[in-house]
């Protein structure tokens, strides 16, 4: 009886606190979304929340901002660039990392532990430490400002975390798998392709969503190694330039920002489970 009363009193504030926190977290994004569908006159005249005064008045919404940013301000092209950067920059490092993680987990070779400790150290080296030498090499090779250059860069920068996460998973596979396969005469490569990879699909999904978000949302590396020219600049670089030039054109800025957020949001919400697994594997060993 007392317990029930206590829980009633304690749960009212509990719900209130949680809902207030959730609102604080979501309102800024809601404002962005609504503003991106309003006309420039409306955006300048009143706050986005005023649309809730007439919740069923759908005439105040327009797709014009999206038309303008995608076709006139180059966000469509930037979206394509981001896609062209992201897809190879996911596939290449994950492929290379899978081989390495497998070898680190199940093969014996001199220096294995030493190399892996270095890798753990490299996990948190600030990228700033690498920018100037890499850019100089890129300039010499003539791949600064090109897609292959940034694919390679993302591969190098993504590898430590991807190897680490895959290693955590692959090294946890039962050793009997490897013993019995080896007795059956399978080569290390056959074991890798036929047993390890199929069993690691969850882990591969985790690192894919990680690497996708990292590359898709990257700003610094693209800014330095690709630059701002329209034929290569990704969404983040393009939008940051818009913030400078369209400072008060909120209806355009918000539409452009939403174009850049839509795909990662959908993937993230759909694959949240794998993302959470990845985070947990990377920090506290599960």
Partner 1 sequence: MRTKKITPWLYIGPATFFLFFFLVYPLINTIYISFFNYNSEIFIGIKNYVYCFTNEVMLNSFRNNALWVIVFVPLTVVLGLIIAVLVDRVKYESIVKSIIFMPMAISFVGAGVIWKFVYAYRPASAAQIGILNALRSFFNSEPIPWLIERPWLNNLCLIMVGVWISTGFCVVILSASYKGIPRELLEAARVDGATEFKIFWKIILPLMKPTIAVVTTAMIISILKVFDIVYVMTNGSFNTDVIANRMYKEMFVFGNYGRASSIAVILLVLVVPMIIINIQRFREQEAIR
Among 12, 20, 27, 231, interactor with partner 1 by CB under 8 A: 27
Residue identified by tokens 């850049």 is 260
Min. distance of Cβ 117 from partner 1 in angstroms? 6
For residues 178 to 197, the per-residue mask of contacts with partner 1, x marking binding by CB under 8 A and - elsewhere, is x---x-----x--x------
Min. distance of Cβ 221 from partner 1 in angstroms? 11
Helix H or strand E encompassing 71:
none
Find the binding residues for partner 1 in span 36-95 (CB under 8 A).
43-49, 93
Q: Which is nearer to partner 1, 35 or 200 (CB)?
A: 35
Beta bridge partners of 220: none
- Rounded to 5 degrees, φ, ψ at 37 are -105, 5
103 binds partner 1 (CB under 8 A): yes
CB 199 within 8 A of CB 110: no
Q: Which residues contact 71 (CB under 8 A, 6 or more apart)?
A: none
Return the CA Rg of the chain.
24
134 binds partner 1 (CB under 8 A): yes
Distance, in Å, from the CA atom of 245 to the CA atom of 249, rounded to the nearest integer, reads 9
221 binds partner 1 (CB under 8 A): no
Among 1, 2, 5, 15, interactor with partner 1 by CB under 8 A: 15
10 binds partner 1 (CB under 8 A): yes
118 binds partner 1 (CB under 8 A): yes
Min. distance of Cβ 84 from partner 1 in angstroms? 17
- Rounded to 5 degrees, φ, ψ at 272 are -50, -40
Among 40, 62, 76, 131, interactor with partner 1 by CB under 8 A: 131
Among 37, 79, 102, 274, interactor with partner 1 by CB under 8 A: 102
Q: Which is nearer to partner 1, 153 or 204 (CB)?
A: 153
Q: Measure the CA dihedral 246/250/254/257, to 10°.
A: 20
Find the binding residues for partner 1 in span 152-171 (CB under 8 A).
152-153, 155-157, 159-160, 163, 171
**Dihedral class, residue 109 (left if φ above 0, else alpha if ψ from -120 to 50, else beta):** beta
Give the three-state DSSP class for 57.
coil
């Amino acid at each position: 009886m007392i317990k029930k009363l206590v829980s009633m009193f304690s749960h009212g504030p509990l719900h209130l606190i949680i809902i207030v926190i959730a609102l604080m977290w979501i309102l800024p994004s809601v404002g962005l979304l609504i503003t991106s569908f309003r006309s420039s006159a409306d955006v300048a005249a009143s706050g986005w929340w005023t649309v809730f005064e007439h919740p069923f008045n759908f005439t105040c919404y327009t797709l014009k901002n999206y038309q303008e940013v995608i076709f006139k301000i180059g966000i469509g092209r930037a979206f394509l660039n981001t896609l062209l950067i992201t897809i190879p920059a996911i596939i290449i490092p994950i492929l290379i990392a899978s081989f390495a993680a497998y070898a680190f987990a199940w093969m014996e070779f001199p220096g294995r532990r030493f190399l892996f400790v270095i890798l753990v150290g490299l996990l948190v080296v600030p990228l700033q430490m690498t920018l100037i030498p890499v850019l100089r090499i890129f300039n010499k090779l003539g791949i600064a400002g090109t897609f292959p250059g940034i694919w390679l860069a993302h591969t190098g920068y993504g590898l430590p975390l991807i190897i680490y996460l895959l290693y955590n998973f692959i090294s946890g596979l039962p050793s009997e798998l490897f013993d019995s396969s080896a007795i059956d005469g399978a080569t290390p490569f056959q074991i890798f392709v036929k047993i390890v990879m199929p069993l690691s699909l969850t882990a591969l999904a985790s690192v894919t969503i990680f690497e996708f978000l990292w590359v898709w949302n990257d700003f610094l590396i693209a800014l330095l190694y690709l630059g701002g020219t329209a034929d290569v600049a990704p969404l983040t670089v393009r939008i940051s330039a818009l913030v400078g030039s369209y400072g008060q054109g909120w209806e355009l800025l918000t539409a452009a920002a939403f174009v850049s957020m839509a795909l990662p949001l959908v993937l993230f919400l759909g694959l949240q489970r794998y993302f959470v697994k990845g985070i947990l594997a990377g920090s506290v060993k599960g």
